[in-house]
Amino acid sequence: MGTPAPDVAPLVLTMGDPAGIGPEITLKAWRALRQSPKYGFALIAPPSVLRKAGEKVQLISDLSQVHSVFKDAIPVLEIDGEAAIVGQPSSKHSGAITGSIERAVELAISGHAAGVVTNPISKDVLYQAGFQYPGHTEYLGVLTQDAPAPYARGPVMMLAGGGLRVGLATVHLSLKEAAAQLSGKTIINNARVMDGALRCDFGISNPRLSLTGLNPHAGEGGALGTEEINIINPAAKALRGEGLSVTDALPADTLFHAEARKGYDAVLAMYHDQGLIPVKTLDFHGGVNITLGLPIVRTSPDHGTAFGIAGQNIARADSLIAAIKTARAIANNRSAFCAQ
Residue stretches of the chain with pLDDT short of 50: 1-7, 340
Tell me if the domain spanning 1-149+297-340 has CATH number 3.40.718.10: yes
**The amino acid at 332:** N
Task: Give pLDDT, residue 7.
Answer: 47
Gap between the Cα atoms of 181 and 272, Å rounded: 13
- Cα 272 from Cα 138, distance rounded (Å): 15
Q: How far apart are CA 185 and CA 178, in angstroms?
A: 14
What are the residues whose beta carbons fall under 8 Å from the beta carbon of 323, sequence distance 6 or more? 117, 288, 289, 299, 300, 301
Q: Confirm if 70 and 64 have CB atoms less than 8 A apart.
A: no
Half-sphere exposure of 141 (CA within 13 A, CB side): 17
Q: pTM of the predicted model, to two decimals?
A: 0.94
Q: How far apart are CA 210 and CA 265, in angstroms?
A: 8
Q: Which run of H or of E encompasses 247?
A: strand 245-250
Pairing of strands 298-301, 41-45: unpaired
Within the chain, all domains assigned CATH 3.40.718.10 are found at 1-149+297-340, 150-293
Per-residue CA distances from 295 to 35, 80, 315 (Å): 29, 27, 31
Residue 42 · residue 13 · CB < 8 Å: yes
Cα 207 from chain centroid (whole Å): 20
Cα dihedral sign, 307-313-319-322 = positive
pLDDT the model gives residue 112? 96
Give the three-class secondary structure for 289.
strand
Q: Supply the DSSP symbol for 82.
A: P
Length of the chain: 340
Task: Determine the 3-state secondary structure of 164 from DSSP.
Answer: strand
pLDDT at 8: 77
Q: Which fold has domain 150-293?
A: Isopropylmalate Dehydrogenase (3.40.718)
Distance of alpha carbon 176 from its chain centroid, rounded? 25
Q: Enumerate the H helices of the chain as residue ranges.
A: 22-33, 48-51, 66-69, 94-110, 123-128, 136-143, 175-181, 184-200, 227, 233-241, 258-261, 272-282, 318-337
Query: Measured in whole angstroms, how far is the alpha carbon of residue 279 from the centre of its chain?
Result: 14
| 3 state SS of 93 | helix
Q: In a 10 Å sphere around its CB, with 0-12 CB exposed, 13-18 middle and 19+ buried, how is residue 7 labelled?
A: middle
